[in-house]
Amino acid sequence: MSVKHALTRGLELGRSVFQLGLLKSGGRVVAKLRADRFRVGPSVRTVQPQAFLPSRYRYYRTSLKGLAAQLQSAGFRRRFGGGSPRNRAVFLAFGLGVGLIEQQLEDDRNSAATCQEIQAVFSKKRFQSPLKPFVSGYKLEDYIIGNQIGKGSNAAVYEAAAQFAPKNESNSRDALPAVQLREEEEEERKTAHLCHAAPSKPSLCIRLVWITGSSSEAILKSMSQELVPAAPLALKQEKELIALDGHFGVLPKRVSAHPNVIRVYRAFTADVPLLPGAQEEYPDVLPSRLNPAGLGNNRTLFLVMKNYPRTLRQYLEVSTPGRRQGSLMVLQLLEAVDHLCRQGVAHRDLKSDNVLLEFDSDGCPRLVISDFGCCLSQSDSSLQLPFNSMWVSRGGNASLMAPEVTTAVPGHGVVIDYSKADAWAVGAISYEIFGQQNPFYRGLGLESRSYQEKQLPALPSSVPADVQLVIRLLLRRNPSKRPSARVAANMLHLSLWGRKALANQDGAGMRKLADWLLCQSAVVLLKGCSGPSGTRVEAELQRSFLSNLDLEDLRTAVGFLLYGREQHQACILSA
């Protein structure tokens, strides 16, 4: 073996050993090396630590730099003390490799610190609802109910307008500066629908849920999943404690506000009224006092939410978004799924009918995930559901269940992991966003239980290559090879705004990425201070990205993108 080859092998060995984590602690390795005996010629000597070194040098003795120095020193001693040239070269190169890794780890520590600082800044900037807080609204009589705007398998949705004003202390307005008063007046003009009894376009809606239960406590208990996206004041204070299995307990967890997750502003129970279209649309679930043949209960659950003009399915039936808008729409769904996963919630019924849509000031669609009736929300946030019986519900829409969910067989000790199931559903919905039929809807040939990845239809050539890569990765059958929603979202963020930072990746790649993150943070902060631009979809997405920064997730996203681009270039060259 040549010396050059030996050096190369030593460097590779030094990198691989430490990157695989085989040497868990530099301090332990150094201690072991000090205890070992290095043969130098015929005699034997023991490497002993120098106890007289002051405490400020102790890090040197226990860091990778210290280990590298000792390994290099031992290599030089072997050079002049005997041993084969190959072993001497490999040992010396191993020490050099450790020294190089220490520099890389130092860069990683700096990059991780940068990510943590940025995350700390943006995580404090919580999403604020565009609607002003209510002071009332816990009774059905507080609302004027209009036309029916939607109906599902377990609920009907109606337009609504509040007959009460939003929280606005008139006696405190005199103390406000004139500029702030003008801003509030402008905001009130935009949200005037909350102050008038008959607005021209109601921006609230009421969801009437068809459920079983006679008392308010029983109704709230049976429909606790619907309350996962509820705001802190959605229920009256006395309703916050309800009867759970004979004991009083707190309602299940609720997710914090997010621009791409529906918000329930009020939740209350009331007697079922005879609303427009009820006799024609859902006569069977009406109580007998309204329909003698009806099987429903007298009381039911009402949820007050913002009224969105259409669902994603309705929008896609008449429009096909452009490549950038389509990418932003997929990214919004991934950000929403990641937000839910971080708080221990799996939606389990993602489909275009359950995604609502409005437009921002630039005309970009803003997507909002709704209908949490099938969600999994556990106190331990594990997103793992024991599947010991066929009576355990897997979730909602069977066509868009991830492979690991639909192929699960009930049995003792069987657990379904939902941590990446919603991300898989986003990959399937992405076909619809880009003008294709969803390949997993019935009648189109593919089933999530049995499909092969090579059977997935090709996306239009107009879809960016990075977006196509993300969709292919999200639809991998094996969840361990599928990126999380966070990693997939990072890939799209980097593709949309960080292409220059990804170019010419080398040893300084993460440093360049950290520099780009700092610049991006400054730009987003400046835009946020400039007023209405901070409410645009792109600004919301950038804030969400920066508030969830994690070095390992970012590194994984970069790795996926670079690998995908290499594969794409290879395909072009082979063609």
Q: What is the three-class DSSP state of 52?
A: coil
- Token pair 């050079």 is found at 79
What DSSP state is assigned to residue 196? -
Distances from the Cα of 387 to the Cα of 220, 416, 421, 425, 439, angstroms: 25, 6, 15, 21, 27
Q: Could you write out the DSSP letters of every residue in 540-560?
A: HHHHHHHHT--HHHHHHHHHH
In angstroms, the CA 332 to CA 539 distance is 12
Cα distances (angstroms) measured from residue 342 to each of 230, 420, 471, 548: 17, 12, 21, 10
Paired tokens of 365: 């669609």
Which pLDDT does position 38 carry in this prediction? 37
Query: What was the pLDDT predicted at 47?
Result: 39
Q: Residue 238, exposed/middle/buried by CB under 10 A (0-12, 13-18, 19+)?
A: exposed
Please tell me the predicted confidence (pLDDT) of residue 52: 40
- Look at residues 570, 568, 564 and name the one whose alpha carbon lies nearest to residue 487: 564
Residue 431 neighbours by CB distance under 10 Å: 22
| Sign of the CA dihedral with 257 first, then 260, 380, and 21 last | negative
Query: What is the model's pLDDT at position 39?
Result: 38
Return the SS3 of 39.
Answer: strand
Cβ atoms of 316 and 326 within 8 Å: the answer is no
Supply the DSSP symbol for 455: G
Q: Among candidates 522, 563, 521, 567, which has minimal Cα distance to 544?
A: 521
Q: Report yes or no: 230 and 264 within 8 Å, Cβ to Cβ.
A: yes
Instruction: Answer yes or no: are the C-beta atoms of 226 and 209 closer than 8 Å.
Output: yes
- Phi, psi at 162, each rounded to 5°: -80, 140
Helix ranges (H only) for 278-434 are 278-281, 312-318, 323-342, 403-406, 421-433
pLDDT reported for residue 74: 58
Q: Which residue reads 């990693």 in tokens?
A: 487
Dist CA 330 CA 319 (whole Å):
16
- Under 8 Å between Cβ of 523 and 539: no
The single-letter code of the amino acid at 402 is A
∠ CA 222-223-224, rounded to 5°? 100
Buried b (16+ CB within 10 A) or exposed e, 458-470: ebeeebbebbbbb
Instruction: Tell me which DSSP letter residue 533 carries.
Output: G
Rounded to an integer, what distance in angstroms lies between the CA atom of residue 554 and that of residue 542? Answer: 14
Reduced to 3 states, what is the DSSP secondary structure of residue 366? strand
- For residue 142, indicate whether it is catalytic: no
Which of these is catalytic: 36, 245, 349, 515? Answer: 349
Sketch out the chain's domains with CATH numbers. 3-120 (no CATH), 140-307 (3.30.200.20), 332-574 (1.10.510.10)
176: tokens are 């406000």
Q: What is the pLDDT along the chain (575 residues), one digit of tens a residue?
A: 444 554 455 555 555 554 544 444 444 444 444 444 333 344 434 333 344 434 444 443 445 455 555 555 655 555 555 556 555 555 555 555 555 555 566 667 777 788 888 888 888 766 666 666 667 889 999 999 999 988 877 889 999 998 875 544 333 333 333 433 344 444 444 433 333 333 345 689 999 987 756 677 778 777 888 889 998 888 886 666 555 444 555 566 789 999 999 999 999 989 999 998 888 888 988 988 999 988 888 888 999 999 999 999 999 999 989 999 999 999 999 999 999 999 999 999 999 999 999 999 889 999 999 999 899 987 777 899 999 999 999 998 888 999 999 999 999 999 999 999 999 999 999 999 999 999 998 776 799 999 999 999 999 999 999 999 999 999 999 999 999 999 999 999 999 998 777 765 554 566 778 888 888 888 888 876 555 556 789 999 999 999 999 888 998 999 899 888 777 777 777 76
pLDDT at 175: 36
State both tokens at 405. 């969910």
- With contact defined as beta carbons under 8 Å apart, do 129 and 558 qualify? no
Token pair for 451: 């499909």
Q: Is 170 left (phi over 0), alpha (psi -120 to 50) or beta?
A: alpha
Q: What ranges make up the beta strands (E) of 47-118?
A: none
Burial label, 17 (beta-carbon count in 10 A; 0-12, 13-18, 19+): middle
Tokens representing 155? 């609920």
Residue recorded with tokens 């943070």 = 521
How far apart CA 202 and CA 145 sit, in angstroms, is 9
- In angstroms, what CA-CA distances link 318 with 264, 312, 351? 28, 10, 17
Task: Express each pLDDT in 464-480 by its tens digit.
Answer: 999 999 999 999 999 99
